[in-house]
Amino acid sequence: MGFSETSLSLFLFFILFSSSYATSRITHQQRFPSTTKFSPNQRAEKLIKSFNLFPKEPVNIIHGDYSFVDHFVPGKIVEKKFSFFGDSDEPSVDDLGHHAGYYSLSKSARMFYFFFESRNGTKDAPVVIWLTGGPGCSSELALFYENGPFKINNDLSLSWNDYGWDKGSNIIFVDQPIGTGFSYSSNDNDIPHDETGVSNDLYDFLQEFFKQHPEYVKNDFYITGESYAGHYVPALASRVHRGNKDNKGIIINLKGFAIGNGLTNPGIQYPAYTQFAFDNKLITKEDQTDINSLIPSCLDATKTCESEGGESCLTALNQCEQITSNILTIAGNINYYDIRKTCDGPLCYDFSNLETLLNKKTVRDALGVGNIEFVSCSKVVYNAMLQDWMRNLEVDIPSLLEDGIKVLIYAGEFDFICNWLGNSQWVHSMKWSGQKQFVASKTVQFLVDGRQAGLLNSYGPLSFLKVNGAGHLVPMDQPKAALQMLVNWIEGKLV
């Protein structure tokens, strides 16, 4: 078993913008069109191809004979221990504490997950759930390229990740929404279209997970994720907290949630793009002034989305993405997940080994997924969530803060698409009882090995961390700092 470092990069799936109207550098005299052609399928396909992913199916909706799942009972979990290491000298299946399973959401839908017990063998370590964004991308992308126990080598062998988050927690990676990764259904209606559906599915899964693993019920529980998980994470935190307050089912010991480079409050984050782009010399001051003329219509459309929902949210997305589209047309072929880098045509990262590995029959057999194909990113799920995109998920966070739930918002400094500036602005403008103290808090250094690894503001249960030397994918770009961040935050030492 080789233990060389993988040269592959990891992403964190997110938005691909329409660029259908801007084909040359914007001049001060140019008039901006009121709308940009909106092509959801084109946007989703561009997202998937940018990661060098080519799933065989657009979504995991199954047809035909899948009799191997007939024994699944709605509301129940079927789980098995597994090892990726075969007959090697690595620890045994029982010693590893690695689990893979399906939760039956209904008669037709199954949600797939990985569960890794703490590598340190600490049974009272907190339980962490990780949610990948997209929307519609598998959490296995993070598992194998960011913060899971393994890295994929070029020859498809696996190496231990020295900074996997299983070193500081018992961690769950879930393929969701339904249709993503190994999660599947025989009914299109099982694919959620909003955060109510997403959070209810995940809450039901967690209830059954803790029922099957009662030894972890009393452990502290944290919700984490990146990118579009800036929607998923606060929605799930609110759902868990509400269930606890209503004394429904198993009380989940929710202590906090963390969002990395997320999209949480579009009404604040979209207008921040031009300042970030100017500060980082992606556009000129004249460009910034011109593109800023698009902000009022973006904000008006976003407000309409919040009040009316439905198709008005697609209009808001269309209006606001004119901002990013124009910036990226001027900036050229930069990697909008890490502006230090460029893309080779449509290719910004190469995650193709993940699809090859997880679609091997030996791997599928080890995981107990039968003939289910691995769908790395689903354009059908992506499109299903489009009316959710421009929703403001900040709105439920203040009440969680007031009840003492810890919140960490962190962002790599070189990400464009969910940049630190927009995230900092919505965090600082969020109204809660500690807002004034948080805004007035001293910015301090986040140190790793005695060196500055970021800049931190915190007050009470709220923390914001700007991470040095990282793009959209903080655990990939700064793995040691990301693990220390998680551990310090959980232990109340991120100060």
Residues 109-128 pLDDT 10s: 999 999 999 998 888 999 99
Task: For 462, list phi and psi in degrees, rounded to 5.
Answer: -105, 130
On whether the CB atoms of residues 467 and 454 are closer than 8 A, the answer is yes
- Residue 3 CB neighbour total at 10 angstroms: 11
Q: How far is CA 259 from CA 358, 362, 474, in A?
A: 27, 34, 11
pLDDT at 35: 38
Q: How far is CA 17 from CA 81, 261, 322, in A?
A: 41, 17, 8
Q: How far is CA 401 from CA 1, 321, 394, in A?
A: 46, 31, 11
Q: How far is CA 234 from CA 258, 375, 407, 488, in A?
A: 9, 25, 9, 21
260, containing H or E segment = strand 254-262
| Rg of the Cα atoms in the chain | 22
Helix, strand, coil share of the chain (percent; to 5): 35, 20, 45
- β-strand pairing of 221-227 with 254-262: parallel
Distance CA 102, CA 80 (A): 9
Of 213, 231, 241, 472, the catalytic one is 472
* Any domain includes 55: no
- Count of domains forming the chain: 1
Q: Closest Cα to residue 229, out of 349, 393, 109? A: 393
Residue found under tokens 């995230």? 423
Mean of pLDDT values over 132-159 = 93
Whether residue 415 lies in the annotated active site: yes
On whether the CB atoms of residues 216 and 170 are closer than 8 A, the answer is yes
Q: Which two tokens stand for residue 234?
A: 């606060």
Distance CA 165, CA 112 (A): 20
pLDDT at 121: 80
- DSSP SS3 for 407: strand
On whether the CB atoms of residues 398 and 435 are closer than 8 A, the answer is no
For residue 426, give its domain range.
67-265+356-383+387-490
Mean of pLDDT values over 15-43 = 42
Residue 447's domain is classified under what CATH number? 3.40.50.1820
Of 227, 297, 424, 458, the catalytic one is 227
* Any domain includes 78: yes
Mean of pLDDT values over 404-429 = 98
Q: Closest Cα to residue 357, out of 135, 91, 106, 152? A: 152
Q: Which two tokens stand for residue 364?
A: 């599928």
Which regions of 94-241 does DSSP assign to beta strands (E)? 98-104, 109-116, 127-131, 150-152, 158-160, 170-174, 184-185, 221-227
Burial code of 8-38, b = ≥16 C-beta within 10 A, e = fewer?
A: bbbbbbbbbbbbeebeeebeeeeebeeebeb
On whether the CB atoms of residues 322 and 299 are closer than 8 A, the answer is no
pLDDT at 57: 56
pLDDT at 82: 79
Of 201, 290, 415, 477, the catalytic one is 415
pLDDT at 299: 98
- β-strand pairing of 254-262 with 406-412: parallel
Question: What's the pLDDT tens digit per position in 231-267?
Answer: 999 999 999 999 999 998 999 999 999 999 999 999 9
Distance CA 52, CA 350 (A): 5
Please report which confidence band the pLDDT of residue 348 belongs to, taking 50, 70 and 90 as the band edges.
Answer: confident
Q: How far apart are the first and last CA of the chain?
A: 40
Q: Reply yes or no on whether the pLDDT at 170 is more than 50.
A: yes
For residue 468, which amino acid is it?
A: N
- Residue 267 CB neighbour total at 10 angstroms: 20
* Any domain includes 96: yes
Q: Which two tokens stand for residue 117?
A: 């017990």
Q: What is the DSSP secondary-structure string of 449-460?
A: TTEEEEEEEEET
* Any domain includes 299: no
* Any domain includes 293: no
* Any domain includes 130: yes
Distance CA 128, CA 53 (A): 27
* Residues β-bridged to residue 446: 454
**18 Cβ neighbours under 8 A, 6+ residues apart:** 36, 37, 38, 39, 42, 43, 318, 321, 325
* Any domain includes 150: yes
pLDDT at 381: 93
Q: Reply yes or no on whether the pLDDT at 339 is more than 80.
A: yes
Mean of pLDDT values over 396-409 = 98
Lowest-confidence region among 43-52, 55-64, 210-219, 341-350: 43-52
pLDDT at 2: 41
Q: Closest Cα to residue 272, out of 241, 250, 247, 299? A: 299
What's the pTM value of the predicted model, to 2 decimals?
0.89
Mean of pLDDT values over 218-243 = 98
* Any domain includes 453: yes
Q: Closest Cα to residue 388, out of 204, 197, 131? A: 197
